[in-house]
Amino acid sequence: MALSIFYPSVTGMEAHSHAMSTVSTNIANINTVGYKKQETLFQTMLGSQPVVKGGGNTGLSSSRADVSGVTAYDRTYVTSMGTIQSTGQTFDVAIQNTGNAFFLVEDSGDYSYYTRAGNFETRTVDGTTYLVTSNGYNVQGFKANEDGTFSANPEDITIDPLEIMPSNPTSKMDVIANVAANEQSNIYGLTVYGPNNDGRNMNMTFTKAEGKTNTWSVDFTMEDGGTVTGGPIEVIFDSQGAVVSPKSLDIAVQWSEEAGGGSNNINIDISKMTQYDGSNQLTNVSQDGYPSGNFVSCFFDEDGVLQATYTNERTVNLAKLTLVGFEAPDNLYSVSNTMFQANADCGESYYLDGNGMIEPEALESSTANVEEDFSKMIVVQRAYSVNASAFTTTDEMLQLLVDLKT
C-alpha cells in the first residue's frame, strides 16, 4: 500500500515523458512533406480499476477504485492543412482546398494507405516504370481509356507513353475565308494529313461559273503525294455574300506510295465563308488531322490527370490520380503521420473526382509549428519536473516514516 503513494508522480512522469517525445517528433518533422502534427492529451486514471472489498476470497467488488494518476493518449490532426509550396518538380502534387482528400497508395503486399505527401517519383521494375511514393509504395490511379474516359477501379500508375504518336488523318475541316467576287478564280492552300504522312498541301480553287450569278465551281488538287476525287462542286452564295448551298463539301484523297499510301474521306465545312469584293485570304482553318510527334515529357494537370506531351503539341492522358475522402477522416489510424490506414471509426470511404483539386509541381508542407511546439516543450518539461519533485518528496516522507519506526 505504501508504494501506491508513488503512483501519481510515476504515471505523471511517464505521461509527460511521452508528451515530450511527441513534441520532439513534431519538431523533427518540421520539413517533412505532408506531415500531420500530433498532440499528446492527458486523462485521469481515477476509478479506472475495480477493487475487491472485504479481503480474502469474498468476491465482493466495487465498480470504482481509488486509483490515482494520469495516462496519456495521442491525437493526430489529420485534416489540418499545411501551406502549399511550389517546387517545379514534374511529379510533385499537392491537394488544395480541402483536408478531407488523400492519395491512395499500396505497398508490395497490396495493403492500402492514404497520404497527403505528394512527393512522387518514378521507379522501373522489370521494364515497367511505376509512379511511387518516397518510400516505394505504388501510387494508385484510374487508367485512361482511348475514348477519353477513365477506368472505374484504381490500379498502379505506370508511365508508358508511346515514343512516337502517329499522325491522325484529316476527316473534318472548317474553312473561313472570303471569296473575292471581283476575281475570276480564288485559290486556297490547305494542309491535309493522311494516315501515314505528316501533311501535304491541297489547293481548293473557286472558279466563277459562266452565265451564273454568285455561283462558283470548286475543285481540289494535291500539289504532291496524292489525288483528290469529289469535285468539281457548284457552290452558290446569296446577294448578301453568304453561302446558300452546299454548306459543306465531301471529298476523298488517295495517297501515293511516296506519301505513305492509304486514303481518307474529308468533310469540309464552308458555311462561314463569304463572297465580297476584295481580299481572298484565309481567315481561319481548323481540322481534326495532325502530324506525328515524338514524346517530350509527362506532367500532371489541375485535375490530377497524368498527361504525355509530344512535339506535335498534342497531349495524351495516361491516368488520373485516385483521391479518397472519408466520413470521419480525423479517425484514420496514423502509421507515420504522413501515412494513414482506414478503420471502422473513420466511416465509409468514397472517391473524389479530383477536378480542380490538384496543385501541380507543388507540395503540402508539414503542419508542425516550431514556436508552438517549443512552447509546449517548456510546459511539458516543467510538468515533468513537478512530478519528479513530488516523487522525491514522497520518497523522503516515506524514508522519514521508516526512520521513526526504527
Interval 163-197: pLDDT, tens: 999 999 999 999 999 999 999 999 999 999 999 99
User: Last residue of a domain, which of 287, 310, 329?
Assistant: 287
pTM, entire model: 0.77
Within a domain: residue 24? yes
User: Last residue of a domain, which of 261, 287, 313?
Assistant: 287
| Of 93, 57, 101, nearest in space to 302 by CA | 93
Within a domain: residue 95? yes
193/229 same-domain check = yes
65/134 same-domain check = no
Within a domain: residue 295? no
Domain hosting residue 148, numbered range: 84-163+300-364
Q: What is the pLDDT of residue 194?
A: 95
> Residue 252 belongs to a domain with what CATH number?
2.60.98.20
Within a domain: residue 146? yes
Residue pair 206/180 in contact by the 8 Å Cβ criterion: no
> Could you give the number of structural domains in the chain?
3
268/202 same-domain check = yes
What SS3 state is found at 373?
helix
What SS3 state is found at 262?
coil
40/94 same-domain check = no
Q: What is the pLDDT of residue 61?
A: 47
Residue pair 92/361 in contact by the 8 Å Cβ criterion: yes
Within a domain: residue 63? yes
> Kind and range of the H or E element at 294?
strand 293-300
Within a domain: residue 90? yes
Cis amide linkage into residue 195, ω under 30° from 0: no
Within a domain: residue 132? yes
> Kind and range of the H or E element at 374?
helix 370-405
124/270 same-domain check = no
347/372 same-domain check = no
261/209 same-domain check = yes
DSSP state of 377: H
Residue pair 138/105 in contact by the 8 Å Cβ criterion: yes
282/312 same-domain check = no
Task: Name residues of the chain where pLDDT drops below 50.
Answer: 1, 48, 55-56, 58-59, 61-64
Separation of alpha carbons 314 and 171, rounded Å: 17
Separation of alpha carbons 135 and 144, rounded Å: 26
Contacts of 283 (CB under 8 A, 6+ apart): 176, 177, 178
209/314 same-domain check = no
Q: What is the pLDDT of residue 69?
A: 79
- For 339-364, write each residue's pLDDT tens digit: 999 999 999 999 999 999 999 999 99
Residue 300, C-alpha cell as written in the block: 500532371
| Of 341, 312, 313, 390, nearest in space to 113 by CA | 341
Separation of alpha carbons 186 and 282, rounded Å: 11
Within a domain: residue 292? no
380/314 same-domain check = no
Residue pair 103/116 in contact by the 8 Å Cβ criterion: yes
User: Last residue of a domain, which of 235, 253, 287?
Assistant: 287
How deeply is 314 buried, as exposed, middle or buried, from its count of CB atoms within 10 A (0-12, 13-18, 19+)?
Answer: middle
194/245 same-domain check = yes
103/195 same-domain check = no
Single-letter code of the amino acid located at 12: G
